[in-house]
Amino acid sequence: MTDTLSAQDADRALKARHRAMWASGDYPRLAAELIAALGPVLVEAAGVSAGQRVLDVAAGSGNAAVAAAATGAHVVASDLTPELFDAGRRAAARAGVEVDWQEADAEALPYPDDAFDAVLSCVGVMFAPRHRAAADELVRVCRPGGRIGLLSWTPTGFIGQMFATMKPYAPPPPPGAQPPPLWGDRAHLEGLLGDRVTDLRTERRLLRVDRFAEPAACRDYFKALYGPTIAVYRSLAQAQERAAELDADLVDLVRRFDHGTAGTVMDWEYQVLTATVVG
């Protein structure tokens, strides 16, 4: 009994840290300025249509949820960090659509089996620490014949490599946690979803990012706005030499991906997965 309570307490503490991390900075601004195009890409790939019941898991400020609602679907946007919802509500209002915003843990969704026609996640569920638990929930709440659609950063793309660059500077992950960019690897997802889905398709695409004047501006943008980057730098608050090393490593990373001639231009790789849940 004591072991069970200790495990539950540890899980609650982990989720509290994740919520605080994503509430720091300004993720809605980053999502609007850098990746606004990705939500509609996922909604189209998953074939979302009017009248469907759609769940956006780890929805953040609703990049995919608002796009799904624009098709006429009935959309629930769930996230562990409800601090992100106000920006999502404003985005939905601007688009003239209705979205139901609900606080929920991707590893323990508060919905019955087979509740949705489509279950989506746009660079969201990939950050749940326990991949198997999150994948099980995606399948559980999607009806037989329904569609799962996932858009994830790849391990070899810019964001995946940013996490690899930050890893040596970050505190060790909790037991059982897996790296987020693995969700951008087809083999990993095949292992998570298994024979519970059919017609599994993946496609790797590129997102053009050209808003930064120089590599250091990109690094500083993430330091100011992006929760995972903010968390790593906070862990180095008493290690300024290490923070300076990370500064340099992140600039080098941006330079590696930069192919611009007037300002920084990068193409960030992501993977789109669609699959049908077996009846």
Work out the percent of the chain whose per-residue pLDDT is above 90.
94
Lowest mean pLDDT among 10-14, 54-58, 156-160: 10-14
Give the three-state DSSP class for 213: coil
For residues 207-215, average pLDDT:
97
For residues 132-153, average pLDDT:
98
Lowest mean pLDDT among 6-10, 92-96, 204-208: 6-10
Contact residues for 270 (Cβ-Cβ < 8 A; gap 6+): 38, 123, 151, 152, 153, 154, 157, 184, 204, 205, 206, 207
CA distance readout (Å), 70 to 15, 31, 62, 97: 31, 18, 12, 6
Pairwise CA distance, residues 74 & 192, whole Å = 27
Residue 275: pLDDT over 90: yes
Pairwise CA distance, residues 67 & 60, whole Å = 13
| Nearest alpha carbon to residue 159 among 209, 196, 210 | 209
Question: Can you give the pLDDT at residue 6?
Answer: 77
Residue 194: pLDDT over 60: yes
Residue 7: pLDDT over 80: no
**DSSP element (H, E) containing 54:** strand 53-56
pLDDT class for 259, splitting at 50, 70, 90? Answer: very high
Question: Can you give the pLDDT at residue 1?
Answer: 61
Pairwise CA distance, residues 6 & 2, whole Å = 6
Q: How far is CA 223 from the centre of its chain?
A: 18
Question: Can you give the pLDDT at residue 9?
Answer: 82
Residue 63: pLDDT over 90: yes
Question: Can you give the pLDDT at residue 2?
Answer: 65
Contact 124, 93 (CB under 8 A): no
pLDDT class for 252, splitting at 50, 70, 90? Answer: very high
* Candidates 3.20.20.70, 3.40.50.10320, 3.40.50.300, 3.40.50.150; CATH matching 9-210+266-277: 3.40.50.150
For residues 78-107, average pLDDT:
98
Question: Can you give the pLDDT at residue 5?
Answer: 56
Question: Can you give the pLDDT at residue 56?
Answer: 98
Q: Which residue has the higher pLDDT, 177 or 1?
A: 177
Q: What is the pTM of this model?
A: 0.95
DSSP string covering 138-207 = HHHHEEEEEEEEEEEE-SSSHHHHHHHHHGGGSPPPPTT---GGGGG-HHHHHHHHGGGEEEEEEEEEEE
